[in-house]
Amino acid sequence: MRAYLIDELTPQDVAAIKAWLEDRGLKSAIDDLYHLPLPLELLTDEQRAHTTCGPHVLALETGPTWIRLELLVRACGTLRCSCMTYATEAQQQAMVERLLNLLTELNIRT
C-alpha cells in the first residue's frame, strides 16, 4: 500500500487530530480510521462519472504517535469498482498538502 506517514507525534497531537476529524464527521465505522473526501475538482473523469460509487475518499489511519494517509482512492458507495485506484499525482499532492495544513492549523510541528 502506498501511504504518506507522519510519525514521532505526541499522543496529545494525535488526540487533537482525531478530535478535529471527528468534529467534522470524518470518522469511519472502523476505530482510528477517518475518511478525507477528495474535492470534486480533483476527481478523475471516471471517478466523477461514478456518482453512485462516491463519495471518493482517502483513508487516514491514526496510531498512538503517528498518522498514515493511504494514497488509495476509495469509493464509499461500493466495495469494488474500477474508479478505486491509487491517487493521481495531483490528488496525492493536494491531499498531503491538506494534511500538512491541518497540522499547521493545530500548531503541530513535525
- Please identify which residue in the block is written with the cell numbers 496510531: 63
Sequence spans of domains, the chain = 3-105
pLDDT in tens, 30-86: 999 999 999 999 999 999 999 999 899 999 999 999 999 999 999 998 889 999 999
Mean of pLDDT values over 21-26: 97
DSSP codes, 5-74: EE-S--HHHHHHHHHHHHHTT-B-SSTTEEEEEPPGGGS-HHHHH-TTT--EEEEEEE-SS-EEEE-B-E
Q: Which three cell numbers stand for residue 11?
A: 499522543
| Alpha-carbon 15 to chain mean position | 16
What does the alpha-carbon distance between residue 47 and residue 43 come to, in Å, rounded to a whole number? 6
